[in-house]
A and B are shown apart, each in its own frame.
Chain A
C-alpha cells in the first residue's frame, strides 16, 4: 500500500513538473520567435540606472513608438549600474540581452569583444539624418580603430572646468574669462586662495574611475592622443618615448598641484573628483574639474540664470590643447536579437531630436545632436563651454579590460601625485600592472 501511495505521489510530481516545463517552453518559443501571443513583435528596451528615474523619461517615448508602430510592443526595463557588470555579460552569454540595450563603456567593450553586440556602423551610415546630427568627434569616440561602432552614442559628457564667479570677483579676476591653460588654472587658483582664503581649486586623487578619467584627460591634453590604442592593445605611451615624456610632465604637474602650490582643499587623497561637487556648491572651493554630470546637482543655483554664481570653462589646455575624455554610453543591439530591423527603428526613435532632448535634459547629459544645441533646455550660459568641449574630446580605453586599465592608471597616478612614486615609476607601474593582468 505504501509503495502504491509513493508511486502515485511520484507520478503527480512528474505531471506537475511536465506541465510547468510545457509552460516555460511555450514562453521560450515565443521569445525565440521574437513575438507575443497577440501577434505583435515584442521588443525589450533596457536602460541602465534607477527604474524610478528612467521610467518617467522613457514611458512616453515608448508609447509614441508603439503608436507609430502598431505591430510592435515594447517592454521597458531598467537595471542598476552596480548589477550591470555581471548581469549584462551573463545575459549576453545566454543570448538574452534585451533587443535594445543601453550600455556603458565599462561593459560595452566587454560585450562587443565577446561578439554579443552587432556592429551598427553600416546602419548609422545608412541613416543620413542621424549621421548628420551626431558630431564626428562623438562618432569617433564610439568607433574602434577598425571602424566598428557597437552602440549609438546617446549619453555623453566630457570634463570641463566649473568655477565660482563670486569668488573670481572677490579675487579681482574676470568672471567672464576662465583660465585657458593648466598654468592659468594654477595661477587663478593661487590668486583666489590668496585673496579670498578659499582654496582656489577643488582637487581629488582618490584612486577611483573618475580620477582615472581626469588623468586620462590630462594625458590627452598633454600628448594629443588617446591613452589607449585599441589596435595595439597597449598604452600609447608604452612604445612612444615622446608621449611617455609628456605623460611624466603631466604627472609631475598633478603632484605639484597636490603638494606644492597650496591651492587645494585639505586631504585631497580622501576625495574623488566628483566628491568635490558639494564643496563647490557650498562655495568652499573656487574651481574644480567636472562635466555635465554636475548640472543636476547644481541646478538650484544654475536656474538663477544670469544671477547664478556658477559657470563653466573648457578643460585647461596642456601642450597639445584641451582634450578631456568623453563618457560615451548608448544604445546597442545584440547579435542574438531576432528583430534587428524593429530594434534599429526603436533606436532611431530614441535618437530623434525631441526624445533625445527629453532623455538628456532629464537625466543630466550633453545635448548630443546638432539640432538640440539651440534648444531652450540647453540655453543657460553654463552650457556653452560644456557643449563646445564636445568638439575636442579624447577617448577612454576602448577595450574589454577597461576597468582594470583605468584602475592601474588611477593607482599609478595617485602614487605619483602623492610622490610615493616618481612619475616614471608610476608609468612603469601602470604598464606592468596592465601587462600582467591583461586577458585576451
Chain B
C-alpha cells in the first residue's frame, strides 16, 4: 500500500486572490452576458422571461451576414494596412536617422488621441463642404467637385483608413522593441554572407519579428472587432449601413431597439468568433517557436 501523500494547501491559498479577481472581472460578466442572450431583458437589465434560442435567430439573417462580411473586411484591410505602414515606419525609425526621437514621438500621437476625438477630428477634416482635404484639393485644381469621403461609396474605405492611422503606432512601438533585440552579430553575419536590403529583411528580420507580429496581430484583431466609438462618431454606421460593424449592431440592438438579449447574443457570437481565430493564431505561433 502506497503511503498517502500529504497535499500542501499553501499554493492553493496563494492562488485564491487571483481566482477571485478572474471570477469577478471575467466570469461574472460573461455569465451575465450568456444569461441575457437566452432571455428577454430590457435596457436596464429587467428579466422578462426565457426565450430559448430566439435571440440567436438574428445571426441567421442576411442582414447579419452582410454585417459580418463588412466587419471582416474592416478587420482584415485594417490590419493589413497597419502592418504595411507600421512595419515600414518601424524599420525606418530603427535606423540612425537625424531627428529619430522626434519622429518616434510624432508617430505615437494618433495612439494617445481618444477614439471619440479622433473620429470627430477626421469627420471635420474629410467633410465634403468645409473639410480641409477637399478645400486643398479644390484650390489646387486636382478635383472639380468635393469628394464625398463619407458618402455610400467611400465611407467604409475612409473608416478603414482612419483605423490604420489609429492602429499604426501600436505596431510601430511593438516592432521597434523587437527590432532592438536582434543581436548585432546576426546583422554582421548576414552582411558578410551578402544578405542586404530586401533579402536581409525577408530572411533575417521578418522571421525574428514573426512572434511579435503574430502577438500584435492577434491583439489588433481583437481590438478591431470591438471598436465602436471611432466609427460611430464618424458615420453612425451609415450611410445605407455601409459602415455598420458588429459593434454598432450590438449598440443599436441594445440602445435603439431596447433589446439587450439580442445584443448579448451577437456579443457572445463575436467573442467566440474572435477567440477561435486568436486560438489558431496563438497555436500557430507556439508551433513555430517549438
- On A, residues with C-beta under 8 Å from B are 85-86, 89-90, 93, 110, 205-208, 265-267, 269-270, 278-279, 284, 400-401, 403-404, 407, 411, 414-415, 418, 420, 437, 439
Number of A-B contacts (CB under 8 A): 78
Q: Please give, as numbers and ranges, the residues of chain B lying within 8 Å of A86 by CB-CB distance.
A: 43-44, 255
State A284–B127 Cα separation when bound (angstroms). Answer: 15
B256 to chain A, nearest CB (A): 5
Interface window among B215-223, B233-241, B279-287: B233-241
- Is B148 positioned at the interface, with any CB of A under 8 Å from its CB? yes
- Is B205 positioned at the interface, with any CB of A under 8 Å from its CB? no
Q: Please give, as numbers and ranges, the residues of chain A lying within 8 Å of B46 by CB-CB distance.
A: 93
Q: Please give, as numbers and ranges, the residues of chain A lying within 8 Å of B177 by CB-CB distance.
A: none
Q: Is the CB of A266 within 8 A of B238?
A: no
Chain B residue nearest in CB terms to A400:
B258
- On B, residues with C-beta under 8 Å from A are 40, 42-44, 46, 127-130, 145-146, 148, 150-152, 236, 238-241, 252, 255-259
Q: Is the CB of A407 within 8 A of B129?
A: no
Q: Is the CB of A270 within 8 A of B148?
A: yes
| Closest CB pairs A-B (n = 6) | A267-B128, A267-B148, A269-B239, A404-B257, A437-B257, A403-B256
B195 to chain A, nearest CB (A): 50
State A93–B129 Cα separation when bound (angstroms). Answer: 45
Q: Is the CB of A279 within 8 A of B257?
A: no
Q: Is the CB of A269 within 8 A of B152?
A: yes
Q: Is the CB of A415 within 8 A of B44?
A: no
State A411–B257 Cα separation when bound (angstroms). Answer: 14
Q: Please give, as numbers and ranges, the residues of chain A lying within 8 Å of B256 by CB-CB distance.
A: 403-404, 407
17 contacts between A and B (CB under 8 A): A85-B43, A85-B255, A86-B255, A89-B43, A89-B44, A205-B239, A206-B239, A266-B145, A267-B129, A269-B240, A270-B239, A400-B258, A407-B252, A411-B238, A411-B240, A411-B241, A439-B258
Q: Is the CB of B236 within 8 A of A279?
A: no
Q: Is the CB of B129 within 8 A of A265?
A: yes
Q: Is the CB of B239 within 8 A of A414?
A: yes
Count chain B CB atoms within 10 A of each CB in A270, A278, A407, A418 and give the residue with the most. Answer: A270
Count chain B CB atoms within 10 A of each CB in A206, A266, A267, A279 and give the residue with the most. Answer: A267
Q: Please give, as numbers and ranges, the residues of chain B lying within 8 Å of A403 by CB-CB distance.
A: 255-258
State A415–B63 Cα separation when bound (angstroms). Answer: 15
Chain A residue nearest in CB terms to B253:
A437
Q: Is the CB of A266 within 8 A of B148?
A: yes
Q: Please give, as numbers and ranges, the residues of chain A lying within 8 Å of B152 by CB-CB distance.
A: 269, 418, 420
B40 to chain A, nearest CB (A): 8
Q: Please give, as numbers and ranges, the residues of chain A lying within 8 Å of B128 by CB-CB distance.
A: 266-267, 270
State A86–B43 Cα separation when bound (angstroms). Answer: 7
